[in-house]
Amino acid sequence: MQSQENFLYQENILDHARNPINKEELFLSSDEIKAFDQFGSPLLLSEKGENMSCGDNGILFLKIKKDKENSLILKASFLGNGCAISQSAFDMLCSELKDKLISEVKFWTPAKIYELLGIQIHQNRVNCALLSYEALVKILKNV
């Protein structure tokens, strides 16, 4: 039987936690602002996810091309500190968000995060797993 610790710490999770590909702050350059203006208003939004019980935290950044019909996520990134589960979920979610329409993302539930992590999350780690999702939900309220 596979033990609990080996099950949680799958290679892909540790890889995302150790070597995140989306861990950076996002900015809009002046060129980007100009370019965006031709299509629709550019948006850079960020929100924080925070787990008071353990101190895990992360800020999710979304660069969005806003459109009357449908807004598109051009890029997603994060900055944060926390356990392997919370930080790998942030990194995976950012990769997943790229090039997605807001209208589609609005339908995502926590199941999306569990699907990305690919492991079963027990009750005591749900807050870790959903830290990035919490930040995403806050952003979506403002789009």
Interface contacts to another protein, rule CB under 8 A: 3-6, 8-9, 11, 14-15, 18-19, 21, 53-56, 81-85, 125, 128
Cβ nearer to another protein, comparing 76 with 80: 80
Q: How far is CA 54 from CA 58, 60, 86, 127, in A?
A: 13, 19, 11, 9
Asked whether 133 and 127 are in contact (CB, 8 A), the reply is: no
**Residue number, 124 or 142, with CB nearest to another protein:** 124
Closest to another protein by CB, 2 vs 142, is 2
- Nearer residue to another protein within complex by CB, 24 or 37: 24
Work out how close the CB of 62 gets to another protein at its nearest, in angstroms, rounded to a whole number. 23
Question: Least distance in Å: CB of 138 to another protein?
Answer: 22
SS3 label, residue 113: helix
The least distance separating another protein from the CB of residue 82, rounded to whole angstroms, comes to 6
> Hey, CA dihedral for 111, 114, 118, 124, is it positive or negative?
negative
DSSP β-ladder status, 42-50 and 57-65: antiparallel
Give the tokens for residue 57: 């935290």
Rounded to a whole number of angstroms, the minimum distance from the CB of residue 41 to another protein is 35
